[in-house]
Chain A
Amino acid sequence: SQTIHQWPATLVQPVGSPLSLECTVEGTSNPNLYWYRQAAGRGLQLLFYSVGIGQISSEVPQNLSASRPQDRQFILSSKKLLLSDSGFYLCAWSVRPSGGYTFGSGTRLTVV
């Protein structure tokens, strides 16, 4: 069966520090991978998506970047965090053609 792992569950980081959030998928090959951010009381905002290794599409210009070094690994990074980067980050995968997403358990990031 397919599973998705996302870590860490919670993270408190000072302003200006780097960030690395990792997401891995098991039990499927060549998935579409997504990073979303959810601000308190708001909907899900798509940050990045990837249809293959090394292929990254950015939806919103910001302080973050994403990479896909392996087929089932998706990494969200920042060189210097801002206060506005705080939020709930969710990784998800889907199979092509477009279908429902399966989400990870999320990372609560607080930048202080």
Chain B
Amino acid sequence: EDQVTQSPEALRLQEGESSSLNCSYTVSGLRGLFWYRQDPGKGPEFLFTLYSAGEEKEKERLKATLTKKESFLHITAPKPEDSATYLCALSYNTDKLIFGTGTRLQVFP
């Protein structure tokens, strides 16, 4: 059973068209939920960590939120340079992170 599910798998947006990416999880005892950005051929780059339901974090055009069963990455007025794959990961009872398969975002001018 998948513990971390990301949707949609791919998202195409026009520049300036705001949207949200979803990360849902089924584990209990969440210790942390992480968002990463990955550009083609590169390692993932850390964006946010969320630890408890109701927590929100922002960075430029990105805002991450967390509930008891899912997290959203909101992208406001995206630009072409926001195009990347966004990965969600969580830790719950070990030091290991469990990753979702990612959402591939393309922003067109």
**Of all chain A residues, which has the CB nearest B31?**
A98
Contact digits for A83-109, partner B, Cβ 8 Å, 1 yes 0 no:
000001010101011111111111010
**Of all chain B residues, which has the CB nearest A95?**
B95
How many inter-chain contacts with C-beta < 8 Å in the A-B complex?
A: 59
Residue contact A100 to B32, C-beta cutoff 8 Å:
yes
Q: Which range holds the interface residue count of chain B? A: 20 to 34
Q: Is A56 in the interface zone, CB < 8 Å from B?
A: no
The chain A residues found within 8 Å of chain B, CB to CB, are: 6, 32, 34, 42-44, 46, 49, 51, 59, 88, 90, 92, 94, 96-106, 108
**What are 8 A-B pairs at a CB distance below 8 A?**
A46-B97, A88-B41, A98-B95, A98-B97, A100-B97, A103-B44, A105-B43, A106-B42
The chain B residues found within 8 Å of chain A, CB to CB, are: 31-32, 34, 36, 41-46, 49, 87, 89, 91, 94-97, 99-102
New contact pairs (19) apart from A44-B99, A104-B43, CB-CB < 8 Å: A32-B95, A44-B89, A49-B96, A94-B95, A94-B97, A97-B31, A97-B95, A98-B32, A98-B91, A98-B95, A98-B96, A99-B32, A100-B32, A102-B46, A105-B42, A105-B43, A106-B41, A106-B42, A106-B43
